[in-house]
């Protein structure tokens, strides 16, 4: 068996095929005792007391009582998926990591996405940082990239992490709010920690509201080290770029999703894989030669900083595909244990003080959560390569070791297991020269905190800036302490003077009196989501229909959407079946009661006079369209379907002038003449690729009002 076949076979074992219930399986205790009745406890008479000797009852209830393990302090709510990673080319010139050295090798992976602040019972679509953790099951052991969907972090030194988490979690006196940073203790802490300002700009941006995990970027956050076979070292930054593009929800939409479907992001991931629409991500790296480490105007070991792609381009090196859902959520997604300290030969650490603290903290967390150093024996954590050492006993020891020796060196067991020489692939730490006094202080190179926050602000589109300002209004509007808000306005003033004025305006406070820090004017195109990939693959379309709908129009559009890997669902007032105009039956997927506009990426209204008249009389159908329009989503209508759009009163678009031809105005695709459905479908798919139409005039939203405020702020608000 080849090495790759062995890796594939051992990865297949992790699918838990060996743990499935076999056909005809009989009920037993955990020790294998056959059980005749699991519905009634053993009693002294039918109405008598339960007997202590009922061993099955005791085992069943004691196992149930212990089903919950301590949830993660952060990243408690997550979703996972299996897949593989394959490099595009050999990276052997830069690292001796074997899984990056052969483009024909597919390395099994397990990925866990998560929110940071909320508990396991929180909703998915909250404003928060997202975890993006990847476990590679390589032939040299497990390698974990434990990152986030933002490339920077709040703090520079891990010793501040407990303070950060205490501040952002529910407040200790009342345990509120859940999964939210919009409360006094968080902003009090942040207003006193200037190093957090760059991360705060990301947190207030659209990046904190990803549409789903398939359209979410990932980053390793820290600077790591690659070492090749000759011992040459380079610094490296990791980037995961989704091939579906980087897209987000708007805040109003996210709040409604949290209520309509708290599981929206994990459900979308599961259903996408289940349908064969596999999420794909390209792994890219920024490579910095050792001799260039100090050639930037920031410190590359500072986790509150990025390396702009204009300075060091991201080099694509491989692709990850997620193609299998977990067999059991608890056994895999909940028990998977990621550790930044899990590295393979060819990959090493930098002196980033935030990373250095995580190397200890993550392992300590797993010991607490999973209760034993033997958590690596769990199937989801177990490496695909053989492993052996002299560790012994403890909870969850699953290996039956037969050797008489458990120490090293030894002569009674041929001195096995034996250390592996570096020449044979043994891990050797890079011999970095280290010297200095034992002190508690921050490097002066970590001392500048605002220029990259300004870079981020400058790089956003007008709409992205508007939504960031709106987020600041919401978050700080939840803080009653004026002094905290004033400190934050002073922080914003160091990022950009106009930003500070706009935030102050929404808070009803005077702008800072101190002169603003001059804006350096620099931008980085990669920081705006509007410069992302445009594709329709993986999107979901709601088709609104009732009895009398034109079934041919539905069939044509669904066929075209499916060919482009776009999903669609029929939404109607009642479930089961509706009748088409030609007498056929069409299955209803969801009703207006069981779904909502916010759960779809686009909306289509087919023709059929009777169907449209029924939908006109149903307020939820009109609200469905209005909400999709308000959230800037593509909307399409053919034939009489245009009449429903006209009744929905889409502001700024005159549908009465659209006759006979396919037309697309600000993402509203219409055709009164449905004879050319192919051209109509093509235009609709092109609109879906755009994801959102941010220039759409939607009165009552921040996209319009914030622009007006920014251009013409009241003199009293900005002169103080």
Q: Considering the chain, what is the average pLDDT of its residues?
A: 92
pLDDT tens, 616-647? 999 999 999 999 999 999 999 999 999 999 99
What are the start-end ranges of the E strands in 149-231? 218-219, 224-227
Out of 297-306, 594-603, 647-656, 667-676, least confident range: 647-656
pLDDT at 21: 65
Is residue 7 very low, low, confident or very high in pLDDT (cuts 50, 70, 90)? low
Supply the pLDDT for residue 716.
43
Summarize pLDDT for 341-360 with one digit per residue, the tens. 999 999 999 999 999 999 99
Residues 234-247: tens digit of each pLDDT: 999 999 999 999 99
Share of the chain above pLDDT 90, in %: 76
Which of 75, 449, 473, 631 is labelled catalytic?
A: 75
* Structural domains in the chain plus CATH codes: 13-65 (4.10.91.20), 78-377 (2.40.180.10), 451-530+710-718 (1.20.1370.20), 538-690 (3.40.50.880)
Question: Cβ distance 115 to 124 under 8 Å?
Answer: yes
pLDDT reading at 384 higher than 90: yes
Retrieve residue 187's tokens.
């902003």
Statement: residue 651 has pLDDT above 90: no
DSSP 144: E
* Gap between the Cα atoms of 620 and 573, Å rounded: 9
Is 148 in the active site?
Answer: yes
How sure is the predictor about 659, in pLDDT bands with cuts at 50, 70 and 90? low
Residues 6+ away with beta carbon under 8 Å from 397: 372, 374, 377
| pLDDT bracket for residue 66 (50, 70, 90) | confident
Report for 397-411, 659-673, 679-693: range of highest mean pLDDT: 679-693
Read off the pLDDT of residues 264-310 as tens digits, 9 standing for 90 and up: 999 999 999 999 999 999 999 999 999 999 999 999 999 999 999 99
Ramachandran quadrant class, 548 (left: phi over 0; alpha: psi -120 to 50; beta: rest): left
pLDDT of residue 189: 97
* pLDDT for 612: 97
The whole-number pLDDT of residue 286 equals: 98
Higher per-residue pLDDT: 707 or 484? 484
Question: How far is C-alpha 37 from the chain's CA centre?
Answer: 44
Residues 192 and 285: their CA atoms lie apart, in Å, by 33
> Which pLDDT does position 705 carry in this prediction?
47
pLDDT at residue 179, as a whole number? 95
- Closest to 685 in 3D by CA, of 556, 537, 555: 537
- Decide if 340 contacts 359 (C-beta within 8 A): yes
Q: Are 603 and 542 in contact (CB under 8 A)?
A: yes
587 vs 15, more confident = 587
pLDDT by residue (tens digit) across 159-178? 999 999 999 999 999 999 99
Q: Is the pLDDT of residue 29 over 70?
A: yes
- pLDDT band per the 50, 70, 90 thresholds, residue 10: low
Answer whether residue 537 shows pLDDT above 60: yes
More reliable by pLDDT, 462 or 24: 462
141: left (phi over 0), alpha (psi -120 to 50) or beta: left
pLDDT class for 662, splitting at 50, 70, 90?
confident
**Is 708 a residue whose pLDDT tops 60?**
no
Q: Is the peptide bond before 417 cis (omega within 30 degrees of 0)?
A: yes
* pLDDT beyond 50 at 369: yes
Say how far residue 121 (Cα) sits from the centre of its chain.
17
Neighbours of 468 (CB within 10 A): 27
pLDDT score of 5? 64
What is residue 31's predicted lDDT score, i.e. its pLDDT? 80
Q: Categorize the per-residue pLDDT at 20 as very low, low, confident or very high, splitting at 50, 70 and 90.
A: low
Per-residue model confidence (pLDDT) at position 703: 44
Q: Mean pLDDT throughout 330-338?
A: 97
Do residues 278 and 321 touch, judged by C-beta distance below 8 A?
yes
Least confident of 31-40, 128-137, 167-176: 31-40
Q: Determine the average pLDDT of the residues in 246-269.
A: 97
Q: Roughly how many angstroms between the first and final C-alpha of the chain, as a whole number?
A: 76
Catalytic residue (choose from 82, 142, 148, 183): 148
pLDDT band for position 1 (cuts 50, 70, 90): low
Give the integer Cα–Cα distance in Å for 476 and 184: 8
pLDDT of residue 699: 55
Confidence band (pLDDT; 50, 70, 90) for 710?
Answer: very low
């Amino acid at each position: 068996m080849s090495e790759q076949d062995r890796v594939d076979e051992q990865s297949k074992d992790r699918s838990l095929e060996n743990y499935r219930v076999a056909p005809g399986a009989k009920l037993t205790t955990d020790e294998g005792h056959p059980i005749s009745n699991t519905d009634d406890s053993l009693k002294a008479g039918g109405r008598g007391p339960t007997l202590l000797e009922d061993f099955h009852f005791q085992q069943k209830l004691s196992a149930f009582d212990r089903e919950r393990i301590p949830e993660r302090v952060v990243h408690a709510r997550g979703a996972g998926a299996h897949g593989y990673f394959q490099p595009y080319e050999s990276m052997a010139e830069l690292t001796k990591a074997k899984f990056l050295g052969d483009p024909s090798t597919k390395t099994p992976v397990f990925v866990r996405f998560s929110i940071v602040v909320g508990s396991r019972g929180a909703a998915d679509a909250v404003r928060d940082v997202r975890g993006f953790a990847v476990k590679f099951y390589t032939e040299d052991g497990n390698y974990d990239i434990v990152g986030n969907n933002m490339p920077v972090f709040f703090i520079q030194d891990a010793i501040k992490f407990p303070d950060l988490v205490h501040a952002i979690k529910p407040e200790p006196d009342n345990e509120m709010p859940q999964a939210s940073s919009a409360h006094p203790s968080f902003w009090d802490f942040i207003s006193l920690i200037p190093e957090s300002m760059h991360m705060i700009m990301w947190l207030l941006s659209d990046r904190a509201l990803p549409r789903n995990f398939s359209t979410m970027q990932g980053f390793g956050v820290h600077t790591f080290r690659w070492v090749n076979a000759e011992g040459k070292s380079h610094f490296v930054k990791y980037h995961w770029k989704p091939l579906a593009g980087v897209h987000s929800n708007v805040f109003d939409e996210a709040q409604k999703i949290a209520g309509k479907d708290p599981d929206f992001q994990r459900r979308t991931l599961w259903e996408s894989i289940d349908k064969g629409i596999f999420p794909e991500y390209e792994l890219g790296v920024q490579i910095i030669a050792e001799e260039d480490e100090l050639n930037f105007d920031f410190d590359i070991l500072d986790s509150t900083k990025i390396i702009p792609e204009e300075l060091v381009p991201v080099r694509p090196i491989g692709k990850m595909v997620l193609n299998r859902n977990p067999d059991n959520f608890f056994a895999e997604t909940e028990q998977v244990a990621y550790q930044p300290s899990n590295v393979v030969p060819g990959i090493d650490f930098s002196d980033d003080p935030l990373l250095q603290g995580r190397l200890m903290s993550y392992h300590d967390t797993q010991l607490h959560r999973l209760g034993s150093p033997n958590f690596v024996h769990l199937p989801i954590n177990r490496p695909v390569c053989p492993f052996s050492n002299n560790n012994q006993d403890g909870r969850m020891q699953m290996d039956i070791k037969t050797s008489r020796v458990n120490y090293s060196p030894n002569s009674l067991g041929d001195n096995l297991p034996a250390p592996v020489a570096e020449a044979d692939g043994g891990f050797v730490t890079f011999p970095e020269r280290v010297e200095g006094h034992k002190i508690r202080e921050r490097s002066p190179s970590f001392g500048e905190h605002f220029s990259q926050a300004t870079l981020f602000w400058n790089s956003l589109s007008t709409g992205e800036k508007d939504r960031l300002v709106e987020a600041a209004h919401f978050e700080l509007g939840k803080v009653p302490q004026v002094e905290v808000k004033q400190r934050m306005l002073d922080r914003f003033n160091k990022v950009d003077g106009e930003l500070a004025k706009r935030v102050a305006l929404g808070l009803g406070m005077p702008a800072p009196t101190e002169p603003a820090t001059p804006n350096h004017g620099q931008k980085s195109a990669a920081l705006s989501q509007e410069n992302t990939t445009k594709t329709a693959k993986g999107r979901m379309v709601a088709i609104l229909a009732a009895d009398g709908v034109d079934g041919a129009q539905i069939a044509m559009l669904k066929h075209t959407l499916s060919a482009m890997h776009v999903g669609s669902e029929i939404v109607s007032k009642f479930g089961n079946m509706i009748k088409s105009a030609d007498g056929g039956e069409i299955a209803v997927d969801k009703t207006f009661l069981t779904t909502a506009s916010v759960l779809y990426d686009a909306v289509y209204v087919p023709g059929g006079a009777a169907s449209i008249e029924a939908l006109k009389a149903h307020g939820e159908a009109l609200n469905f369209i209005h909400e999709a329009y308000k959230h800037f989503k593509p909307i399409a209508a053919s034939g009489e379907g245009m009449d429903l759009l006209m009744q929905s009163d889409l502001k700024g678009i005159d549908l009465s002038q659209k006759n006979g031809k396919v037309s697309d105005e600000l993402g509203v695709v219409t055709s009164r003449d449905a004879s050319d459905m192919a051209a109509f479908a093509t235009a609709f798919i092109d609109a879906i690729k755009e994801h959102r139409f941010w220039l759409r005039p939607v009165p009552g939203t921040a996209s319009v009002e914030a622009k007006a405020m920014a251009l013409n702020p009241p003199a009293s608000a900005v002169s103080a």
